[in-house]
Amino acid sequence: MSEQTASAKLTHETFGEDPVTAVGFMADDARVAARSLARATRGRKDAALLHIADRIQAQSAAIIEANKRDLQRGEHNGTSSALLDRLKLDQTRIGGLADALRELAALPDPVGSVVRGQTLANGLRMSQVRVPMGVVGAIYEARPNVTVDITGIALKSGNAVLLRGGSAALESNRALVGIIRDALADQKLPVDIVQSIDDHGRDGATALMGARGKVDVLIPRGGHGLIQSVVQNASVPVIETGEGNVHVFVDASAPQKMAVDVVVNAKTHRNSTCNTAETLLLHKDAAAGPAVLEALTKAGVQLHVDDRAAKMLPGGVQAPAATDEDWGTEYLDAHLAVKVVDSLQEAVAHIERWTTRHTEAIVTNDLANAEEFIASVDAAAVMVNASTRFTDGGQLGLGAEIGISTQKMHARGPMGLEELTTTKWIVRGDGHIRK
Amino acid sequence: MSEQTASAKLTHETFGEDPVTAVGFMADDARVAARSLARATRGRKDAALLHIADRIQAQSAAIIEANKRDLQRGEHNGTSSALLDRLKLDQTRIGGLADALRELAALPDPVGSVVRGQTLANGLRMSQVRVPMGVVGAIYEARPNVTVDITGIALKSGNAVLLRGGSAALESNRALVGIIRDALADQKLPVDIVQSIDDHGRDGATALMGARGKVDVLIPRGGHGLIQSVVQNASVPVIETGEGNVHVFVDASAPQKMAVDVVVNAKTHRNSTCNTAETLLLHKDAAAGPAVLEALTKAGVQLHVDDRAAKMLPGGVQAPAATDEDWGTEYLDAHLAVKVVDSLQEAVAHIERWTTRHTEAIVTNDLANAEEFIASVDAAAVMVNASTRFTDGGQLGLGAEIGISTQKMHARGPMGLEELTTTKWIVRGDGHIRK
C-alpha cells in the first residue's frame, strides 16, 4: 500500500456519524486488528517496530513541519513556554523516539509466557498464559512523544490502541499516526492497530471513556485535572497514573552526606516529574537537617517551611511559612515544603494524610526504623537511602514504561509491557467431567 | 470484650449522619483496622479464622433464628423458592461455612511473597512484594454465606471489608457480622476489619460505590442487574464477576462418548452456576451430534434449536426454535440453545458475537483445531476436552475463591487470595542518586 493511501484514511470512515457511534465503530475495527495482532509472532512485531522507527526518522521533516503548525497555534493562543517545550519535536527528539522503539524491539515479548501451571490430581493439565488485553485507550495532553511511546508498547504487547492526543498537538499526532499506519501496512499488519480519535474532539474522548466492553483498559496521562476527569467519568476500567506528592523523611540517624545527596537529587534532578520530592520531613534530632536545607537553597530550591524548619535555615535565607496547601501540592517545580517532626511515627502520619501513594523515601542508618517505614507506608514504591527518582520503569529494569500506576488494582508503580497483558486459563483434559 | 458489647456496635457510630458521611467514616475506620491487620502474622490471622469458625458453629442456633426471620419476611413478600433456598441457613450449611474458614487457615498467606526482585547494575536492591489491597467493598444479594466467604478471604489476605449484603438477608447478616466481630475482639484484632453498611440501605451502597480513595476495590456478586449497576455507577475500581454465557463446541472429530460426557456434565452438573454451558455448537459433520442431543434430553434438558439441530433431535422430542434471545441468554436452568455450524471458524465467530468471556470449551480429537480454538477464543478460561464446570478456584487448585472475574484487568477467571493483594516496590540503596 502506498503511504498516501494508508495515511489518507487515518481511521474508520465515520464522517457524519455521531462521536459515540464513530468511536464504537473504531473500537470494533481495533478489536479485529487486535485479534490478528495477538497471534503475530514476536519476530513480526519487532520487525514492525524497527520499520516504524525507520519511517519516523526518514519522514522527520514532515513531522517537524506539522509540529511547527501546532507550535505556532500554541504561541498564538498564549500557551506557556513550558507546555510549548513539551509539545516541540526536533530532529534530536524524533531520533530519541525512534531509538525507544528499537529498544522495545530488543525486549522480551510478554505474550505467551506461562504465569503458572500444573497437572491436577485428576490429570487435568492447566496453565495460565499471558495474552494481550485487546483494545487499549489512551487519553493524554499535548505531548506527541506519547503517541509514539504508547503505540510502541501497545504493539509489542499485542494490543490495538485508540489514541486521544488532545487538540494542541493535533497536527503532530496526525502526521505521526499516518506514518505509523503506513509502516504497519508495509509490514502487512492491520493498520487499525493504531487509530486516532482526535477528529471527534471532546465528545470523542467522552465516547471512549464510555465504551465499556469495546475498550478493555483506558490509560490517562497528564495533569491532575485530566486524570481525575477520566477516573470519575469512565465506565471503561482505568489505570490511574502519575500524580506524585512524594515525601523524603530524614531520620535522626541519617548520615549527613547521604541525606544531602538523596534529598537534593530527589528534588532537583528533574523537578517536573511525578517521582520528584515535594515535601521534606526532618526528624528534630537529625544532625543532617541544616546541611540539607543549605544544599537545597544553593541548588536554587525555594523552601516553604514550618516554624521549626525556619530556625534551621541558613543565615539570610527567606522562606514563606508552609500551609496545608503546601503539604498537599505537587509543585512540579523548584519548590519544596519542609516540616520538622518529633518521630518516625509523626512522619508516617503526615505521609498518610497527604500521600498520593506514589513514592515515599526514608534516609536512615537505623535498621528497625527502615523496616518500620517500609511496613507503615502505603505507596507504590518505598525507597530506603535512595533517590525517589528511581521509581521509573527504565531505572528498575522493566524496560519500557507506559506510566506509573498509583492505584492498587492490576498494576502498581512503573507499568511495563507485562502490565498491558491479561491472562487466559487453558485447561486440557481427556473427557474430564466434575463428579 | 463480651460478645454483647462488640456485636451491639456493628459499625461506626453513624446515627443521624447522611449515608455518604457515614460510609466515609466507616471506610476510615476500616483503613485504620486494615493497617493493623496488614502487619499481622499468618499465625494470628489463621488463629482468628479458626476462632470465627468455632464461634459461628457454637452460635448456630442464634444464626438460624435470625435467618428464619429473613425467610419469613421473604415468604411474606412472595420471594421465589429458588431465592429462598439460597437465603436459607441450616446446621449443615453453617457447618460448611465454618469448614471453609478452616480450609482458608490451611492455605499459604499471599502477603509478603516476593513477586520479583534483583540487584540492579548500580547496586540498588529492589523487590516487588505482595501487600494487602487495604479496604475491600463487597455488594451482593441475599446470600448470607457470601458474608462469611468474603470475610474469610479478606481476613486471610490482610484486608478490611465493608459489606453490603442486601435487605433480604438483613437479619442473618447482622447475626453473622456480630459473631465475627466478637471473635475478632476475642483475638485482639480490630473489630472494624469487618463492617456492614446494610443499616444505610441503598444510599449506603451508592456511597460505597463513590468512595474512591477510601475503598480500594469493589466486588459485586450477584445477577446481571446488580453487576451492571455497580460497573456503571462506581468510581471505586470494580472487579466484574460472574456472568457466564458459556459455549461448548463439538468438533467434527469429537469422540462420541467424550462429547456426551463433557456436554452433559457442563449443562447438568449444576445448572445455576456461571460456569454451566448455555449454548451447544455442533459441527455439521460431528457424528456425536445426535447422541449428545439424546443424552441431554434424557437428562431433562429443554433444548432450543436452530433448523439443522432440529433435524438431529430424537424422535418425538419437541424443541422450540432458537432465537437471538436464546444465543444471548444465560439460562441458569435446565435449558440449552443448540446451533449447527459449518466450521470451527463459524463456531468461533458465534462465540465472539455472544460470549461474556467467561469459559468456552471445545471437544475434539484434532490437534490443529484445538490450538486454533485456544488461540481464537477470548475468554478467561478455555477448556479442551473438559467440562466447563472446572472454571472454579477450588477445582483449579487456587484454594478459596471470591468470584470469577470476567474482566481483563487485575484478575481474570477464578479469583483467589492473591487477587486480593497488590504489590509494593521496595528499593534499598546506600545513598543512591540518579545521574
DSSP conformation letters of A36-50: HHHTS-HHHHHHHHH
Please tell me the distance in Å from A382's CA to the nearest CA on chain B.
5
Distance CA A390, CA A266 (A): 9
Alpha-carbon distance of B314 to A212, in angstroms, equals: 42
Is B59 within a domain?
yes
What is residue B120's DSSP assignment?
-
How far is Cα A285 from Cα A253, in angstroms, rounded to an integer?
8
**What contacts A132, CB < 8 A, 6 or more positions away?**
A34, A37, A38, A111, A157, A158, A159, A420, A421, A422
* Shortest CA distance from B240: residue in chain A: A237
Sign of CA dihedral B69, B75, B77, B79: positive
Among B212, B363, B428, select the one facing A384 at the smallest CB separation.
B428
Residue pair B33/B160 in contact (Cβ under 8 Å)? The answer is yes
Among A429, A126, A112, which residue's Cα sits nearest to residue B393?
A126
Residue A112: CB atoms within 10 A of its CB come to: 12
* Interface contact A380-B424, CB threshold 8 A: yes
Residue B431 maps to a domain: no
Residues B226 and B330 in one domain: no
* Neighbouring-strand partners of residue A280: A248, A338
Closest CA to B359 of B383, B330, B394: B383
- Cβ distance A424 to B432 less than 8 Å, yes or no, reads no
Given a contact cutoff of 8 angstroms between Cβ atoms, the answer to whether B57 and B159 are in contact is no
Q: How many CB pairs under 8 A join A and B?
A: 207
Indicate the burial class of B354 (C-beta count within 10 angstroms; 0-12, 13-18, 19 or more).
middle
Using CB atoms, pick whichever of B35, B423, B434 lies closest to residue A265. B434
pLDDT at A383: 98
- Judge if B225 and B260 occupy the same domain: no
Asked if residue B414 belongs to a domain, the reply is no
Contact yes or no for B235 and A232 at CB 8 A: yes
Q: CA-CA distance, A400 to A403, in Å (whole number)?
A: 9
Are B212 and A231 in contact (CB < 8 Å)?
yes
* Residue B360 and residue B344 share a domain: yes
How close does chain A come to B235, measured CA to CA in Å? 6
Compare CB distances from A425 to B120, B232, B380 and report the shortest one's residue.
Answer: B380
Q: A81 and A45, same structural domain?
A: yes
Which one of B134, B387, B428 has the shortest CB-CB distance to A385? B428
The partner residues of B304 in beta bridges, in order of sequence, read B337
Give the residue on A whose Cα is nearest the Cα of B210: A232
Asked whether B307 and B273 are in contact (CB, 8 A), the reply is: no
CA distance B395 to chain A (A): 9
DSSP letter assigned to residue B215? B
Which residues of chain B neighbour A433 with C-beta distances below 8 Å?
A: 261-262, 264-265, 269, 386-387, 389
Q: Which of B287, B279, B338 is nearest to B308 (CA)?
A: B338
Q: Tell how strand B114-119 and strand B125-132 pair up.
A: antiparallel
Alpha helices per DSSP H over B251-313: 256-268, 289-298, 307-310
Q: Which grid coordinates belong to B293? A: 442431543
Collapsing DSSP to helix, strand or coil, A241 comes out as strand
Same domain, yes or no: B233 and B319: no
Residues of A in contact with B430 (CB under 8 A): 258, 385
Q: Give the relative orientation of helices B144-156 and B91-106 as an angle to the nearest 10 degrees.
A: 10
The vertex-B59 CA angle with B55 and B63, nearest 5°, equals 120
Q: Decide if A191 is inside a domain.
A: yes
Distance between CA atoms of A338 and A282, rounded to whole angstroms?
A: 7
Interface probe, candidates A358, A383, A408, A423, chain B, greatest B C-beta count within 10 A = A408
Determine, for residues B425 and A216 on separate chains, whether the beta-carbon distance falls below 8 Å: no
pLDDT tens column, B80-105: 888 898 899 999 999 999 999 999 99
Domain assignment of residue A404, yes or no: no
Distance in angstroms (rounded) separating the CA atoms of residues B226 and B218? 13
Whether residue A434 lies inside any domain: the answer is: no
CATH (domain of B200): 3.40.605.10
Q: Check residue B242 and give left, alpha or beta (phi > 0: left; psi -120 to 50: alpha).
A: left
Place of cell 490511574: A240
- Of the candidates B232, B255, B434, the beta carbon closest to that of A389 is on B434
Question: How far away is chain B from the Cα of A378, in angstroms, using its nearest Cα?
Answer: 8
Three-class DSSP category at B110: coil
Round to whole Å and give the CA distance between A128 and A426. Answer: 6
Contact: A397, B232; criterion CB under 8 Å: no
The one-letter code for the residue type at A163 is L
Residues of chain B with pLDDT under 50: 1-9, 14
CB–CB contact A429 B385 (8 Å)? yes
**Subunit contact A428:B133, Cβ cutoff 8 A:** no
Instruction: Confirm whether B415 is domain-assigned.
Output: no
**Nearest residue on chain B to A384, alpha-carbon basis:** B428
B217/B275 same-domain check: no
* Domains: count for chain A: 2
Say if residue B264 is in the same domain as residue B367: yes
Cell triple for A270: 528533574
Q: Quick one: A262 and A212 in the same domain?
A: no
Based on the domain organization, do B272 and B177 belong to the same domain?
no
Instruction: Nearest by CB to B261, from A35, A237, A433: name it.
Output: A433
CATH number at residue A314: 3.40.309.10
DSSP A396: T
pLDDT < 50 regions, chain A: 1-9, 14
A272 and A310 housed in the same domain? yes
Contact criterion met (CB < 8 Å) for B430 and A258? yes
For residues A96 and A71, state if they share a domain. yes
A-chain CB neighbours of B383 within 8 Å are 427, 429
CB contact (8 A) between residue B397 and residue A426: no
CB A341 within 8 A of CB A350: yes
Put simply, the answer to whether A422 touches B412 (Cβ < 8 Å) is: yes
Contact B409 A216 (CB under 8 A): yes
pLDDT of residue A5: 40
What are the pLDDT digits (tens) for A324-360? Answer: 999 999 999 999 999 999 999 999 999 999 999 999 9
State whether A433 and B391 contact (CB < 8 Å).
Answer: no
At A224 the pLDDT is 82
Domain contains B371: yes
Residues B223 and B335 in one domain: no
Residue B22 is part of which domain span?
3-239+420-425
Q: Are A176 and A148 in contact (CB under 8 A)?
A: yes
Q: Could you please report the per-residue DSSP string of A327-359? A: HH----SSEEEEEEESSHHHHHHHHHHH--SSE
* Cβ–Cβ gap A237/B237 under 8 Å: yes
Give how far B434 is from chain A: nearest CA, Å. 7
**Confidence (pLDDT) at A252:** 98
Separation between Cα atoms, residue B96 and residue B144, nearest integer Å: 13
Cβ of B387 and A269 within 8 Å?
A: no
Measured on CA atoms in the order A344, A345, A347, A348, is the torsion positive or negative? Answer: positive
Closest CA to A381 of A414, A352, A403: A414
Q: Specify burial of residue A257 (Cβ count, 10 A radius: 0-12, 13-18, 19+).
A: exposed
